[in-house]
Amino acid sequence: MGLKMSFHRCLSWGVTIFAVVPVVVLALSPPWESGRRRTELFVARSADDAALRMRIAARSPNVSPDEARRVAYTAYMTGVELRREWRVVWLPGLQNVLVNIGARKGGLCFQWATELLLRLDALKLQTLELHWAESFVNTNGEHNAIVVTARGQPFEQGVLLDNWRYSGHLVWTQVTMDPEYHWTENKSELARRLGRAKEELRSKN
């Protein structure tokens, strides 16, 4: 996918996000009701965010607490490291513009999701499974993120990990309780991105 086309992905949220409740308020807010659909959105406070670790571990009694800890740590640090490497600005939509004109190396939503996917895949998880999530597919507001579930567990029971929405600050929620997006799984896209990364690695060697 070219950068010109990718520019449109995630743009709607990036342009309007400044008007949304600030990060700190969201981090402190409990789940709330929106019509009949319960929604929630949290911002990880550190690389060892206890709430995120516990939510991931709670996917199943079979989930390793250490794997839950490593996933939470990796997701948080991916945002920290890429925010610095890509010189990420606020708003996300502005970062999209800068990437599109060649002034930034990365920062589009699918780039955040791909980098997180590759880093989590490198953990060689045994009790957790990764999923490619997408919303508003084939629209100007298309967004991509990563969902983690217990191994063999349905996508809908997973925890969403999103580094794009707050410019590298990790946002997370139960995948079905996101107040802004309705997420669906794309298994073929997950396989494609992991396969491409392995091909690139082989070519370098």
The token pair that represents 24 in the structure block: 């700190």
Q: Is 158 inside any structural domain?
A: yes
Domain around 78? 37-86+109-204
Using 50, 70 and 90 to split pLDDT, how confident is the model at 38?
A: confident
Q: Is 29 inside any structural domain?
A: no
Q: What is residue 3's predicted lDDT score, i.e. its pLDDT?
A: 39
Q: Alpha-carbon dihedral of residues 14, 19, 25, 29, nearest 10 degrees?
A: -80
- Per the model's pLDDT, the better-predicted residue between 56 and 19 turns out to be 56
Query: In total, how many domains does the chain have?
Result: 1
Q: Is 67 inside any structural domain?
A: yes
Q: Is 95 inside any structural domain?
A: no
Q: Is 91 inside any structural domain?
A: no
Is residue 88's pLDDT more than 70? yes
Q: What is the mean pLDDT of residues 146-162?
A: 98
Q: What is residue 200's predicted lDDT score, i.e. its pLDDT?
A: 74
Is residue 194's pLDDT more than 90? yes
Q: What is residue 197's predicted lDDT score, i.e. its pLDDT?
A: 80
Using 50, 70 and 90 to split pLDDT, how confident is the model at 34?
A: very low
Q: Is 166 inside any structural domain?
A: yes
What is the residue-averaged pLDDT of the chain? 86
What's the whole-model pTM score?
0.83
Q: Is 9 inside any structural domain?
A: no
Q: Is 182 inside any structural domain?
A: yes
